[in-house]
Structure 1
Amino acid sequence: MSLNVVPLPIDEANLKARLEFLDKFEAQLAGSVQWQECESPAAYRKMRREGLNGFTAPALNPKARLVNISGRDGYQIELRIIAPTEQSCKGVWLHFHAGGFVIGSNASYDTYLTTLSNRLGLTIVSVEYRLAPENPFPKPLHDCVDAALYALSAAGEKELGAPLKVLGGESAGGWLAVSTGLALRRDHGVDVRSKLDAIVAGYGIFDFTYTPSLLSHTRNIVLSKEGMMDFCEAGFSHIPMAQRKDPLVSPLYADLEEMPAALFLTGKIEPLLDDSVFMAAKWQQAGNVTELSVVDGACHAFTIIPMGDATEQGLDIIVKFVQKSSSK
């Protein structure tokens, strides 16, 4: 089974324009407020959510609806549901938002999720999982697994309007998508290969002992080496570095057999580039359908932060992969 690596090379003029955009974007972000600099992570989240201190409040889909379900320890998990309006629903995509396990919410990326919902004909259900440092690993993963178990249940399928077909997310959400799929198979006996069409992991971290691309990264476009490590320590500092190759923490070291088709999508200018490259190779070696897409001239979060045609290319890759996987 070969590893499908896409997309085709970009033309020189288009790549030049993307790189110039990233240079300007990096300069624009220099000196912006970081969550570590605020009085608390909660205060930073509030600024982001309300559009304060230079942030732009996220645009919300007025048609999104909320459902609360009970997790394993009684925590009420909020699900934000965006149904397609331009075609009939073919299934559910359970989504795990970005934010380094510390920031973001299920309402942070409505524009992106609405686009995916309409282009794919899927109901996108985004999980409000608990955040670090207040709720370190494994609580966020527990919330995501419990949401997936609900979506797979008869009651969940009825409430959400369709069967669960895709697990997907970006950055921390990419880790959560892969780890949730593994937990369903390992801990709950779910035949995820037959139940799910695909896992879509955008620029996720899969090795918490850190890959070469992170350790050698020198730029700060959305995410720096130091920023990524700060996020990781917020959620995983209670786990000694010597124990972080545990497959429950770093799925790169997990048994990956009998998993669904997976897309590992990343930009080329990305501290977590090697995480996607290594994970795609391991996923393929375990006998799973795998696609690795490294988008030239793209940085961290390029599919969820508008970055011109790089964003459009990333969205096209996701849509084509999910459509191909759902027609198997």
Structure 2
Amino acid sequence: MRGIVSPKLDDFLAATNKAIADAKAQGIQYTPTQVRANLDKLAALMNVKPSIDFIEDRAFTMADGRSLQARVYSPNPTKPLPVVMHFHGGGHMCGSVALYDPVSRQLAHTAQCVVICVEYRLAPEHPYPAGIHDCQHALIHYQDVLSGIAHDGSIAIMGDSAGGAICTTLTMNRLKNPAIRIDKQILIYPSVDYTMSSASVSSNGQGFLLEQARVRWYFQQYFRHALANEEEVKRASPLFGAFDADMPATLVFTAGCDPLRDEGIAYVNAMQDAGASVEHCHLDGMIHAYMLLQDLVSEECQTTYQRIDRFLNAEG
């Protein structure tokens, strides 16, 4: 079923759809430079940037000697607060700590938590599983970048879109790597099915910013030659991984006009069937990437941050 979009997004989508149609008419092909620049334009729609007491760029030292950059936020660096590892979205190809800075700030401010936003490697220069390796290292060694910052010892992960794919992949990986500890998981319109088999990929795949053809192209760049066949791509998809009752407590946001809507709902259902703790918040008139459109849908974004606050800081 195709979603019915909020009128708040009508003008934005009209302009976006015209630009997409013009590009197709001119035969313009996707390139990493183009899609990165287009996503970065959304920074103009995120003008709410709360002041945070502590913000600093720090780095993890990887086993191969390179540095993995991260930005650390704390609204009160002397108070023990929960920690959230923030893995940004962008189709595994786009996005950055800088673009997602308003999101990290708002998260730290509203949920009163320490946020670590990771500058993981992107495809196609660094295809699967390079970004996963970076984020897994950061999760296991998160305390390495928290020198001088109080925290309460709890660790949650949060990601939107491809960042949600990273979160759910790390949740799968915990079964084979005991060094991985995740207390809570926050997924915002997550990408969990690289086979693109859910009905909403088609029904919502045109006219709502994220288009079906672009999703397919993202995945082609991400996997490149790392996975040889469809079965391997399916095994890499968190939706088809193992679910168990001991999975971290999870909060999932889905959007009614998102091509990824149905796979997010399927992930919720699979967690429920496994006896895991999961909460689901559905925003019917929203599109994919609505968190990067805060100036247009401020109420829905604030609802999302407030729900994260309640989930993250709930007892038990």
TM over 0.5: yes
Q: Find the aligned partners of 2:165 and 2:265 in 1 and give their Cα distance.
A: 14
Q: Deviation digits for residues 242-277 of structure 1, max 9, x if unmatched? A: 32121xx10112122221100111111110011111
1:229 pairs with 2:216: yes
Letter in 1 for 2:233: R
State the 1:237 CA deviation: 3.6
Q: Find the aligned partners of 1:94 and 1:56 in 2 and give their Cα distance.
A: 25
- Report if aligned partners of 1:64, 1:81 keep a CA contact under 8 Å in 2: yes
SS of aligned partner of 2:271: helix
State the 1:116 CA deviation: 1.2
Q: Provide the identity percentage.
A: 24
SS of aligned partner of 2:68: strand
What TM-score, normalized to structure 1?
Answer: 0.81
SS of aligned partner of 2:99: coil
| Aligned pairs, number | 299
1:245 pairs with 2:234: yes
Q: Find the aligned partners of 2:312 and 2:44 in 1 and give their Cα distance.
A: 30
Ranges in structure 1 where 5+ consecutive residues have no aligned partner: 1-14
Higher relative contact order (CA 8 A, sep 6+): 2
Question: Against the structure 1 CA distance between its residues 175 and 191, is the aligned structure 2 distance closer, same or farther, given a 3 Å change threshold?
Answer: closer
SS of aligned partner of 2:141: helix
Ranges in structure 2 where 5+ consecutive residues have no aligned partner: none
SS of aligned partner of 2:191: coil
Question: Against the structure 1 CA distance between its residues 145 and 218, is the aligned structure 2 distance closer, same or farther, given a 3 Å change threshold?
Answer: closer
Residue 170 (structure 2) aligns with: 180
State the 1:107 CA deviation: 1.6
Q: Find the aligned partners of 2:191 and 2:290 in 1 and give their Cα distance.
A: 16
Question: CA RMSD of the aligned region, Å?
Answer: 3.0
Residue 323 (structure 1) aligns with: 313
1:1-328 equivalences under 5 Å are: 19-32=6-19, 41-42=32-33, 45=36, 56=44, 64-85=55-76, 88-151=79-142, 155-156=144-145, 158=147, 161-162=150-151, 163-183=153-173, 185-190=174-179, 192=181, 196-210=182-196, 211-238=198-225, 239=227, 240-246=229-235, 249-257=236-244, 258-306=246-294, 307-324=297-314, 327-328=315-316
- Report if aligned partners of 1:87, 1:121 keep a CA contact under 8 Å in 2: no
State the 1:64 CA deviation: 2.4
Q: Find the aligned partners of 1:269 and 1:46 in 2 and give their Cα distance.
A: 23
SS of aligned partner of 1:280: helix
State the 1:191 CA deviation: 6.7
Q: Find the aligned partners of 1:321 and 1:47 in 2 and give their Cα distance.
A: 32
- Report if aligned partners of 1:302, 1:314 keep a CA contact under 8 Å in 2: no
What TM-score, normalized to structure 2?
Answer: 0.84
Letter in 2 for 1:186: L
